Structure 1
Amino acid sequence: MRHNRSMVISKRSPFAAALVLALAVPALAGAQEEVTVKTLAAPDYFSGPVADTGIGGDLWKGTAPAIMRDVVPKLGGSKPLSPAFASLARRMLSTGANGPAGVGDDAEMGAQRGLALIALGEAKGANAVLDRVTGAPGSAALSMASAEAALISGDDDKACRVEQALTVDRGAAYWLRLRAFCQLKADQPDAAQLTFQLAQAGTKDADYARLMGAALAGTAPGAANLKNGVNYALSRRLNLDVQSAAAIASASPALKSVLKPTGDLSGVASGADLTAQEASDLAFLRQAKTLTAFVEAAHASAASIAVLASAGGPLQDPVLLARAAVASGDVASAQAIRGRLVGDTIPGANTTDLALLDALIAAASGKVDNQILGNLVSRGATGGPKSPAQPAAVLLASLGGGLDPDARAQFASFDLAKPVASPARALLLDDAGAAKRKGEAGLLALSIALDAGATGPAPVDRARIAEAVNHAGLSADARAIVVEGILGLAFTK
């Protein structure tokens, strides 16, 4: 039957017969072609770069997958990190590098990367990276990361598309709240009201209820609330002041990075009334009671400090201003201020303060001068175990530098607080640094920092971390960790 049917076709249409023959025989001229079928590689959720961090695409090479699975989700949790360790986490997760086997192609780990970036204040970068990944509709976690990144970035339409595409866990509180917002946005008030009631029947959120209720009923909404992307989107829809002190106080770390107010620096830029500006900066810096608050104040005052540093003339508290310049990343201004400090009567400073400032500048510039390190050790030996010069010397020494025999003997006698990090993690950290496993060294450093909290690890642990990540190839982060440690000595009781 098949033979007869093909004969009939060939008689009716010679073109059809030619077509059948052409499909059956790949090459008619005697040459044969090989058809190669390639399996598409699984997506890698860590390969998309947020920024050019300079770390390199081999970041995760050799990293133990289980260590990565343990640490990355914690970076998006509620435990705070000090500024230097938050920067390390942000830089690592912003780097485009294939993840370890079983991690890079795991959608849930991709979601944890996105959520951690958002929590670390990199929502816009996360939004761009998550825009290029697949698998979000079938993963509530990956979809939530995409939606939150979009809302914080101001792309409410994208967040609503993510919600509509979701195929799992659609009855969870987060999705009900977002769906109600999206229905209101789409001019579907009745549907929004019903979804809002369903959301409130589950886990209650007083701030969301206040804002959504006001949006639906047209009542007074009260102050803006910025603890998550949905509340931020509602606050913007209600035209609330998201830059108010009350709003910023309610903001999660994810949102604080997009809400930093900028002051009026026009007078400073023109060199007008520097004395008043210096007094204002000093008051702002002196009121900082924690390391994190001081770093934030330093960044806010950076522009005016740079002008003060280059203007010449005496300064009211030069050491504090120089510390703030280092904290904001402006080493040149700190060096300019330090260059003007001569003599025995320096406002607000003694010889140990100057030694600490020299150590700060050396660490920040990446040039550990043996004389500076030796002077710091000498001050530590003279001042005894309560002198901040002792832990500062340990921190600076972690970046390198050499000591003469007398200084080594003094250094060996230092009485420092015992390390807090688990010996097992500390040994693994040392090994990762020596083997140049950058990703693993960074993750182990972050795991120790997470346990330490917002103030960061104690000097002995911090010095060990800095030495390991420096050996691993994360030199810029090692310097930042040491700088922060020396700055933090001013806030240690």
Structure 2
Amino acid sequence: MRHNHSMISPLRLPRVLMLSSALLLSLSAAARAQEEVKVKTLAAPDYFSGAVADTGLPSDLWKGAAPGIMRDVLPKLAGPKPLSPAFASLARRALSTGSNAPASVGDDVEMGAARGLALIALGEAKGADAILDRATGGPGSSALSMAQAEAALITGADDKACQAEQALTVDRGAAYWLRLRAFCQLKAGQTDAAQLTFQLAQQQTKDADYARLMGAALAGTPPGAANLKNGVNYALSRRLSLDVQSAAALASASPALKPVAAAPTARAADIGHDLTAAEASDLAFLRQAKTLPAFVEAARASAPSIAALATAGGPLQDPVLLARAAVAAGDVASAQAIRGRLTQDVIPGATAADLAILDALIAAGSGKIDNQVLANLVSRGATGKPAQAAAVLLSSLGGTMDADTRTQFATFDLGKPAASAARLQVLEDAAGAKRKGEAALLALSLALDAGASGPAPVDRARIAHALNRAGLSVDARAVVVEGLLGLAYAK
């Protein structure tokens, strides 16, 4: 009998079906995996998901934030208007946090550029450089490419900046790119091309500092002092071996380059163990500061010797000023130690109201609002405007007033608010809904309007109260501390 080998035996059919099913499942799984790879490849980037540092803020920081508010405020953070130290710290914390932004913002290359440029302007070039390394879309965006180039130049990665310039496909004739291109050509030994590009850059927009540095690099003329206005000038200053930490360099430094210009060593390093000399030096240094931001910088530089003075015991020439500086530098413990020694009736350079404001400053800095401190401020407010302003600032962080204190507080004339009532209302709404990122941006927009010293006490208290409600208590305390320092410093 002949057997038809083309037919499958009924006994073998189940096995064939099993093998066929397994093959189909395998092919299906492979197709799904391929589709997943395709989806991942095509997925739009989120320019806000990369973290610069662990800021303590949540990974859903931008949840619920209004895209329009982000588009309005973020680019301004890299603009010419300065932020006071407390608000600059809030901006750095918010922008350094890794958190997906709303879809229409997170995948927008120009908003990614705005984040990078703002971080650079806030002195976070190193962090910006790290997140911009992973950013896509640079060649087609002048703003994102500029952020990448500036971050690279400020961190000393000149080759990376030149690569960003070479890859750019748009706006190549803008003044910034001509200046960077001339530097890169000079760096590559293309002197004639660099000279020509330099001339084109100057014809478009004259820049005396760039012209001086680039001219010196090309012709060997005396370069003068280093200039730290931007990354290109900083790169030229380094190429010319100029002192980028000189007084002239520091005076020229933009906020982006202030960390580079600042001397790495503490002021107290040369004083040694002579605490009397340390105190005299600290006091002179603190008193010469002409603005609140300058006072905060001086306080931070003096922090080591103030801490030594706080623990050494003995009388101090101006203990209240030293205690204020300690809080400004974030050293509440040293301020408390100095305050604990002020038991005598006469305090050098201080009144009873000054001590009441100092107590409020220490309370705000520690995050522990003492009702008695608040009541004391309110009682002092009957005879002085600074105490009234201090009371409204401290009360924004919490605390409880008794009936008499509330009655007196209600009579205070705190002045007319200058902040936008509409934005304050939206800020309060964001705070109540715990939209932390939106609350931070609205607070920053109000601070930008106020200038380098920050908002007036009546507006600052509203902002701090909202930040506290939103869950940004660290920033709320910093805003209040800065306001209290401003009262004492303006005296």
TM-score range, shorter chain: over 0.9
The Cα shift of 1:266 comes to 3.9
2:369 is aligned to 368
Percent identity over paired residues:
77
1:455 is aligned to 453
Give me the TM-score of the superposition, normalised by structure 1.
0.92
> Which residue, out of 265, 268, 290, partners 2:268?
265
The Cα shift of 1:343 comes to 1.9
Structure 1, residues 348-395: CA drift from partner, whole Å, max 9, x if none? Answer: 1111111111100100110001111111111112x1xx4311010000
For 1:56-455, what aligned pairs fall within 5 Å after superposition?
56-261=58-263, 262-263=265-266, 265-266=268-269, 268=271, 272-381=273-382, 383=383, 386-455=384-453
1:426 counterpart letter in structure 2? L
In structure 2, the CA distance between the partners of 1:238 and 1:438, relative to structure 1 (3 Å rule), is same
2:8 is aligned to none
In structure 2, the CA distance between the partners of 1:263 and 1:55, relative to structure 1 (3 Å rule), is closer
Query: Is the contact made by 1:107 and 1:142 (CA closer than 8 Å) also made in structure 2?
Result: yes
2:208 counterpart letter in structure 1? A
Query: Is the contact made by 1:225 and 1:235 (CA closer than 8 Å) also made in structure 2?
Result: yes
The Cα shift of 1:267 comes to 5.4
Distance, in Å, in 2 between the alignment partners of 1:264 and 1:418 is 41
The Cα shift of 1:28 comes to 6.8
Partner secondary structure for residue 296 of structure 1: helix
In structure 2, the CA distance between the partners of 1:415 and 1:137, relative to structure 1 (3 Å rule), is same
The Cα shift of 1:101 comes to 2.1
Query: Is the contact made by 1:114 and 1:126 (CA closer than 8 Å) also made in structure 2?
Result: yes
Query: Is the contact made by 2:244 and 2:260 (CA closer than 8 Å) also made in structure 1?
Result: no
Query: Is the contact made by 1:26 and 1:33 (CA closer than 8 Å) also made in structure 2?
Result: no
The Cα shift of 1:33 comes to 3.6
Distance, in Å, in 2 between the alignment partners of 1:472 and 1:157 is 43
Range 75-84 or range 249-258, more displaced: 249-258
The Cα shift of 1:213 comes to 0.8
Distance, in Å, in 1 between the alignment partners of 2:54 and 2:395 is 29
Structure 1, residues 229-279: CA drift from partner, whole Å, max 9, x if none? Answer: 0000001100111111111111111101221113453455x5x21111100
Query: Is the contact made by 1:67 and 1:440 (CA closer than 8 Å) also made in structure 2?
Result: yes
For 1:10-29, what aligned pairs fall within 5 Å after superposition?
29=23
The Cα shift of 1:455 comes to 1.1
Range 255-264 or range 83-92, more displaced: 255-264
Aligned residues: 464
The Cα shift of 1:165 comes to 1.2
1:12 is aligned to none
2:406 counterpart letter in structure 1? R
Distance, in Å, in 2 between the alignment partners of 1:125 and 1:237 is 24
Give me the TM-score of the superposition, normalised by structure 2.
0.92
Query: Is the contact made by 1:59 and 1:438 (CA closer than 8 Å) also made in structure 2?
Result: yes
Distance, in Å, in 1 between the alignment partners of 2:203 and 2:286 is 46
Distance, in Å, in 1 between the alignment partners of 2:26 and 2:79 is 59
Distance, in Å, in 2 between the alignment partners of 1:432 and 1:306 is 39
2:300 counterpart letter in structure 1? H
In structure 2, the CA distance between the partners of 1:33 and 1:397, relative to structure 1 (3 Å rule), is same
Distance, in Å, in 2 between the alignment partners of 1:56 and 1:140 is 31
In structure 2, the CA distance between the partners of 1:28 and 1:373, relative to structure 1 (3 Å rule), is closer
2:11 is aligned to none
Query: Is the contact made by 1:323 and 1:334 (CA closer than 8 Å) also made in structure 2?
Result: yes
Q: CA RMSD in A?
A: 1.5
